[in-house]
């Protein structure tokens, strides 16, 4: 007998999200959303934990979905549960890897793109902005994960919700980075970046003089996500700013909530390649930005790539695995990934 097809965690999660979409605000909708996120984030088959933790009324529905053999049967079940209505996946949920899918990609993908084969950890935050740990705690954790170097990238003051750094805050952090390197740089080298806010017109919220004081300017969009506006010119102005090293989470997408910027990505990536601005594959599970399709396009246009966890706490450092899995799916060549450089090589790249 042939093996019966079972649904993936990602497919189960999407079915639960679709059912939540059809519910008005309230406890039922919230319970379906929680179950969807639990399936999406589960390391293995989510069945037992979902059934144990779901409200009593939701357990029969989850059991019905789990019993489906294949995704066509699952979609038919969702349609029946919605009274015959035909639901579609939200654009804000397209192109993401569930945790279980990410794990499978890492198992089957090229070993030289595995997080354990990278030398540097890029894009993490501390208590100086919206992170949960000190600079030293995060740096030590990066060292324990086997990284030879890493780069802190706290937010600039333009992102008010993140309590970003002003000029004096950047300088104080710089002294701590230098002190770390004096004491521990042989074991784990630390670089200072700053995640700078891209304003509506593509300019940056940090003046040029201040940008020159840090190792790496990481430009990122966190606002003005007008879905009907083409944002190509905004991004081109940012990319053409001489001090910018990296365009972080380029689409600005967020799982379930925001599909991200609309832009002519071929033009954006070509401009990045011409300007020597690297593109980030952000592994934070709710971002996964770029996705594999756009990461593949960026490489085709000649871009260099940085893989990041976007960690805001020590446990988040493991999110580099999502970035590696996306790079594997996009078939990014190892030589295009800046995380594979030795610390002195990365320093040369920063000073280009």
With b for 16 or more beta-carbon neighbours within 10 A and e for fewer, the 282-298 pattern comes to: bbbbbbbbbbbebbbbb
Please check whether residue 193 is in contact with residue 216, taking contact to mean a CB–CB distance below 8 angstroms: yes
Q: Which residue has the tokens 């038919």?
A: 76
Q: Is it the case that residue 119 has pLDDT exceeding 70?
A: yes
Q: In whole angstroms, what is the distance from residue 99 CA to residue 304 CA?
A: 26
Give this prediction's pTM.
0.93
Q: In whole angstroms, what is the distance from residue 184 CA to residue 177 CA?
A: 10
With b for 16 or more beta-carbon neighbours within 10 A and e for fewer, the 216-238 pattern comes to: bbbbbbbeebeeeeebbebbbbb
pLDDT band with cut points at 50, 70 and 90 for residue 1:
very low
Q: Which residue has the tokens 């506006």?
A: 229
pLDDT band with cut points at 50, 70 and 90 for residue 352:
confident
Cross-strand bridge partners of residue 247: 219, 279
Q: How far is CA 274 from the centre of its chain?
A: 24
- Closest listed residue to residue 229, CA positions, set 206, 202, 205: 202
pLDDT value of residue 91: 87
Please enumerate, as own/partner, the contacts of 60-64 that have beta carbons within 8 Å and a separation of 24 or more: 61/19, 62/16, 62/35
pLDDT value of residue 164: 83
pLDDT value of residue 2: 41
Q: How far is CA 342 from the centre of its chain?
A: 23
Rounded mean pLDDT, 110-133: 93
Q: In whole angstroms, what is the distance from residue 112 CA to residue 41 CA?
A: 25
- Residues 107, 109, 112: CA angle, nearest 5 degrees: 105
Q: Write the CA distances from 136 to 119, 176, 309, 314, integer angstroms.
A: 18, 8, 17, 11
Q: Write the CA distances from 156 to 37, 65, 132, 166, 206, integer angstroms.
A: 31, 45, 16, 7, 7
Q: How far is CA 216 from the centre of its chain?
A: 19
Please check whether residue 267 is in contact with residue 232, taking contact to mean a CB–CB distance below 8 angstroms: yes
Q: In whole angstroms, what is the distance from residue 113 CA to residue 117 CA?
A: 6
Q: Is it the case that residue 84 has pLDDT exceeding 70?
A: no
pLDDT band with cut points at 50, 70 and 90 for residue 86:
low
* Range with lowest mean pLDDT among 171-185, 198-212, 252-266, 314-328: 198-212
pLDDT band with cut points at 50, 70 and 90 for residue 228:
confident
Radius of gyration of the chain from its Cα atoms, rounded to whole angstroms? 21
pLDDT value of residue 46: 65
Phi, then psi, of 21 in degrees rounded to 5: -60, -35
> How is residue 245 written in tokens?
């090293």
pLDDT band with cut points at 50, 70 and 90 for residue 85:
low
pLDDT value of residue 177: 97
- Other beta carbons within 10 angstroms of residue 352's beta carbon come to 6
Rounded mean pLDDT, 132-144: 96
pLDDT value of residue 208: 79
Mention every residue, 6+ apart, whose C-beta is less than 8 A from residue 35.
Answer: 16, 50, 54, 58, 62
Q: In whole angstroms, what is the distance from residue 123 CA to residue 114 CA?
A: 18
pLDDT band with cut points at 50, 70 and 90 for residue 161:
low
- Residues 181, 187, 188: CA angle, nearest 5 degrees: 60
Q: Is it the case that residue 107 has pLDDT exceeding 90?
A: yes
Phi, then psi, of 306 in degrees rounded to 5: -115, 130
Q: If you average pLDDT over every residue of the chain, what do you get?
A: 92
């Amino acid at each position: 007998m042939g093996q019966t097809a079972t649904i993936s965690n990602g497919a189960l999660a999407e079915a639960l999200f679709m059912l939540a979409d059809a519910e008005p605000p309230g406890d039922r909708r919230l319970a379906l959303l929680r179950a969807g996120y639990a399936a999406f984030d589960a390391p293995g088959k989510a069945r037992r934990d979902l059934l144990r933790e779901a409200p009593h009324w939701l357990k029969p529905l989850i059991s019905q979905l789990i019993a489906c053999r294949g995704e066509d049967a699952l979609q038919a079940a969702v349609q029946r549960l919605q009274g015959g209505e035909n639901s579609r996946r939200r654009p804000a949920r397209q192109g993401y890897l569930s945790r279980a899918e990410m794990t499978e990609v890492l198992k089957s993908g090229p070993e030289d793109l595995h997080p354990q084969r990278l030398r540097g950890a890029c894009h993490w935050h501390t208590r100086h902005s919206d992170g949960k740990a000190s600079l030293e705690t995060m740096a030590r954790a990066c060292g324990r994960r086997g990284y030879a170097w890493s780069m802190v990238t706290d937010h600039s003051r333009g992102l008010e919700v993140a309590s970003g750094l002003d000029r004096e805050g950047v300088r104080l952090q710089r002294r701590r980075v230098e002190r770390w390197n004096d004491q521990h740089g042989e074991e784990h080298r630390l670089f200072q970046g700053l995640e700078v806010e891209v304003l509506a017109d593509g300019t940056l919220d940090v003046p040029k003089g201040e940008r020159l004081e840090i190792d790496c300017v990481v430009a990122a969009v966190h606002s003005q996500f007008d879905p009907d506006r083409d944002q190509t010119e905004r991004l081109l102005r940012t990319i053409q700013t001489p001090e910018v090293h990296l365009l972080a989470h380029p689409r600005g997408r967020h799982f379930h909530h925001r599909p991200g910027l609309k832009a002519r990505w071929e033009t954006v990536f070509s401009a990045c390649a011409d300007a020597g601005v690297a593109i980030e594959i952000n592994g934070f599970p709710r971002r996964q930005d770029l996705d594999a399709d756009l990461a593949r396009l960026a490489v085709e246009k000649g871009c260099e790539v940085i893989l990041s966890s976007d960690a805001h706490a020590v446990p988040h450092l493991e999110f580099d695995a999502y970035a590696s899995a996306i790079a594997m799916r996009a078939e990014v060549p190892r030589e295009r990934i800046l995380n594979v450089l030795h610390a002195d090589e990365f320093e040369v790249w920063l000073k280009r």
